[in-house]
Structure 1
Amino acid sequence: MKFDSKALLAAAGLTALAFTPAYATEGGDQATKPGAFIGASAGVPPPGIYMFNQVFTYDANLVGPGTARLNPPGTKTGVQAAVDVQGFLFVPGWTFLGATYDAVIVQPFVQQSLGSPINVQAAGMFNTYIVPVELSWKLGTSGFAIKTGLGIYLDDGATTSPATLNGPANPYYTFQPELIVSYLANGWNLTAAMYDEINTENRVTHYTTGNIFHADFTATKTIGKWTFGPVAYYVGQVTDDSCPVSCTALGGSILNHVQRYDEWAVGGLIGYDFGPASVSVWATQEVYAHGRNDAALAAAGNDPSLMAQGMTVFATLSYRLWAPEEPAKAPMFHK
C-alpha cells in the first residue's frame, strides 16, 4: 500500500524542553520542538486511520549573554533530550467548504537534562497534543495546496515536584494555529509550515510566556521509493512574557528570562516508502541563535538570556491502521 506518509506529520507537534523557569532557555519556552513539521505537507492521505511513531534526540549547549555568569571560561552547559511520540491521524473522508477534513492526537514522552551547574533532569509524559480540526484545500490541478488548523496542548502532563516546575510537562495550555502551504507535483514537496504558540498563564507561577512563531521548510524530491532533499527551520519569540502582581508575589520576574530570540537551523532529509509503511529521517544543525532581554539590560546592566543551540536527529515511521472497504465490483460477463 502506498500513501503520502509525509502528510501524517502535518499536525504532529513535538515537545521541546520544559526546564525550571529560573533558567528559562529558548527550549524551555517552547511546547513544539522546532522543525517538528519538517517533511510534512498540506496534503492529506486517503480516508482511514493512520499511526505514526516519532523519535528524536537533541544535543546542544546553552549559549547567549547569560552564559558569562553561568559558565567559567572554557566550560559549557549541555542540553540533552530524547523524545518518543505516538500519534494518530483520522481522515474520515469528510469535506467542508471544498476542503478535506482530518484530526490528530499526539502523546509525547520525554527524557531531558541540563548539565552543570544547573543539573536538572526530568522524564515522563508531556502534555497531550490534539488537533480537532484541520482543513486542506487543493488549488485545482496546479499542484498547490493549503492546510490550516488549530492544535492544543492540554494541561495534563506529568510532574515530578510539588511545585510542578521541574517535571517534563508544562503547567498550562498552549494553542497553536497553523498554516501550511505546499507545492506537490512531479515528486516535489516544497512546503512552508508556519505555526504560532499562544500560551495561557502558568497555573503555578502565574507567569505567561510570550508568543513563539515557527516556520519549517521542506524541499524534497521523491524518485521511486526514495525521498531526499534539504530542510530548514526558524523559531523566534515575537511578544514579551508577562508577570502580573500574582506572579511577582511568588518571586517571578521577566528580568530573569529571555524575552526575544531568533534561531535558524539547516539540514537534510531522506526517506523510503516500504509500501505498508514509510520511514523518514532528518537531521538539522542550529547555525544561528540570538536571544536578548532589553528590560533586564536597562534595569540591571546585564542580560541573563540563555538559549540552547545544537543538533537534532529525527525519525518517523508512519503507516495506515485501517481503511474503509472498497465497494464490491459487479462481476463482468463475456459472451
Structure 2
Amino acid sequence: MKVSRALLAATGVIAVSSSSAFAIEAGGNPQTKAGILIGASAGVPPPGIYMFNQEFTYQANLTGPGVNTALGGSTKTGVQAAVDVQGFLFVPGWTFLGATYDAVIAQPLVMDSVGSPVNAQAAGMHNTFIVPVELSWKLADSGFVVKTGLGIYTPDGTVTGLYGTGNEGSPYWTFQPEIIVSYLKDGWNLTAAIYEEFNTRNSVSQYTSGDILHADFTATKTIGKWTFGPVAYYYGQVSNDSCSATCAYSTGTMLNPQRFNVWAVGGLVGYDFGPANLSVWATQEVSAKASNPAAVAATGSDFSLIPQGTTVLATLSYRLWGPEQAAQPTSMYHK
C-alpha cells in the first residue's frame, strides 16, 4: 500500500502559490499551489489517521505584457517562495452511496518575495484548508477510481495592509470543488485531477478575484519500492475579476490580468520506506501568458503580469493511527 499516493489523493494536500502580486487582485495569489495534486490518485488508504508534511520552493521571474508597462522593461523581476504544509487525512472507514469517505485539514505557512522594482516580502500563515467530505468510488476490478470532493479555504490567515492582501492570508473564502480520475493497476498511476477556485469578495477591499481552473497530470510506475514518471500541470484564470462602486481600487480591474494560462512539465520520483513514504517532484513552467483586453481597449496598454519558473516539492506521508485489524486493499495498489 502506497501511503503517499493515497494521501496525495486528498485535495487537502494544499499549499499557497506564491504567484506575483499581480496575478489576481493586487497583492493576492491563487489560493492553491499549481500542481499540488501531482502524484495524487483517486484512491483512499485503509481506515486510520494519516499525517503529511510538504515542503516546496518556487523560483520564477515575472513575464507578460506588464514587463514593459508596469515594470519598465525589467525582465528579471524575481518571485521566490518557501512553503511548509502540515496536514491530516482522516479515513473513518465509512461508505456512502458505494463510495469511501475521507476528510482533510491542512495548514500552509509561507515566506515569499518579489524583487525589484516591486520589492515586496511577506511571511505568515496562509488560510487553513478544510475538506469536510471526499468520496471515492472504485469501479469494480477495472483499475479505474473516481473521487470527488469540496475543499474550503477559511479566511483565518495572516492579513495585513490597506487592502488586506499585504501578507499570506486572504480576507475572503475560497470554495474548491474537485474531480479526480485514476487508473491504478499493475503499479501504474495514471491520474488527471481537475479542481477550480471560486472566491468570495475581499471583505477589506471589496474586490472579487476571478475563478482559477487547475489540472494536474500524473503518469507514474511503481517498481519495488521506487515510483517514477512524468508529470505536468495547467492553471489559468477563467472568469473576470470584479470591482464594484464600493471597491477600494480607483483603477478597478485595469491593473490586473483578467486571463492567464500557465503550463508546466516535469518528473516525479518516490521511495517507500515502509512506515513512511517520500516523494519529490520538479516542474518547469514552459508557457505563461497573461492579458487584460479591457485595459488595452481603455488605455492602449496591458499591465498584466504572471510568474514563470520552477517548482521543487517534497512530501513525506505516514500513518499515525489505525484500527488493529484495518482492512487492507487487495487490488487498488500494487507493487
Q: 1:160: Cα distance to partner?
A: 3.7
Q: Closer, same or farther in 2 for the Cα pair 1:162/1:74, shift >3 Å?
A: closer
Q: Closer, same or farther in 2 for the Cα pair 1:118/1:281, shift >3 Å?
A: same
For residues 39-79 of structure 1, give each alpha carbon's deviation from its aligned partner in whole angstroms, at most 9, with x where no partner exists. 01000000000000001000000000000024455642100
**What is residue 255 of structure 1 aligned with on the other side?**
254
Q: 1:26: Cα distance to partner?
A: 10
Counterparts of 1:72 and 1:306, CA distance in 2: 12
Q: TM-score if structure 1 supplies the norm length?
A: 0.93
Q: 1:214: Cα distance to partner?
A: 0.3
**What is residue 31 of structure 2 aligned with on the other side?**
31
Do the aligned residues in 1 keep the contact of 2:27 with 2:165 (CA within 8 Å)? no
Segment drifting more, 36-45 vs 64-73: 64-73
Q: Closer, same or farther in 2 for the Cα pair 1:73/1:205, shift >3 Å?
A: closer
Counterparts of 2:26 and 2:91, CA distance in 1: 34
Do the aligned residues in 1 keep the contact of 2:67 with 2:74 (CA within 8 Å)? no
Q: 1:3: Cα distance to partner?
A: 3.8
Counterparts of 2:160 and 2:243, CA distance in 1: 24
- Gap regions ≥5 residues in structure 1: 328-335
Counterparts of 2:25 and 2:252, CA distance in 1: 15
**What is residue 111 of structure 2 aligned with on the other side?**
111
Which amino acid in the other structure matches residue 171 of structure 1? P
Which amino acid in the other structure matches residue 147 of structure 1? K
For residues 259-301 of structure 1, give each alpha carbon's deviation from its aligned partner in whole angstroms, at most 9, with x where no partner exists. 0011100000000000000000000000001111000000000
**What is residue 204 of structure 1 aligned with on the other side?**
204
Segment drifting more, 275-284 vs 23-32: 23-32
**What is residue 13 of structure 1 aligned with on the other side?**
14
Do the aligned residues in 2 keep the contact of 1:158 with 1:169 (CA within 8 Å)? yes
**What is residue 56 of structure 1 aligned with on the other side?**
56
Which amino acid in the other structure matches residue 293 of structure 1? N
* Structure 2 counterparts to residues 88-167 of structure 1, below 5 A: 88-161=88-161, 163-167=163-167
**What is residue 330 of structure 1 aligned with on the other side?**
none
1:178 aligns with 2:178: yes
Seq. identity, %: 65
- Gap regions ≥5 residues in structure 2: 327-335
Number of positions where the alignment pairs a residue of Structure 1 with one of Structure 2: 324
Which amino acid in the other structure matches residue 53 of structure 1? N
| Local SS of the residue matching 1:101 | strand
CA RMSD of aligned residues (A): 1.8
Q: 1:326: Cα distance to partner?
A: 1.9
| Local SS of the residue matching 1:255 | coil
Q: 1:7: Cα distance to partner?
A: 1.6
Counterparts of 2:21 and 2:287, CA distance in 1: 24
Counterparts of 1:26 and 1:141, CA distance in 2: 49
Which amino acid in the other structure matches residue 88 of structure 2? F
Counterparts of 2:31 and 2:271, CA distance in 1: 29
Do the aligned residues in 2 keep the contact of 1:17 with 1:28 (CA within 8 Å)? no
For residues 151-196 of structure 1, give each alpha carbon's deviation from its aligned partner in whole angstroms, at most 9, with x where no partner exists. 0000000124364321111111100000000000000000000000
Q: Closer, same or farther in 2 for the Cα pair 1:233/1:144, shift >3 Å?
A: same
Bigger helix fraction: 1
**What is residue 272 of structure 1 aligned with on the other side?**
271
**What is residue 312 of structure 2 aligned with on the other side?**
313
Do the aligned residues in 2 keep the contact of 1:126 with 1:158 (CA within 8 Å)? yes
Which amino acid in the other structure matches residue 16 of structure 1? S
**What is residue 329 of structure 2 aligned with on the other side?**
none
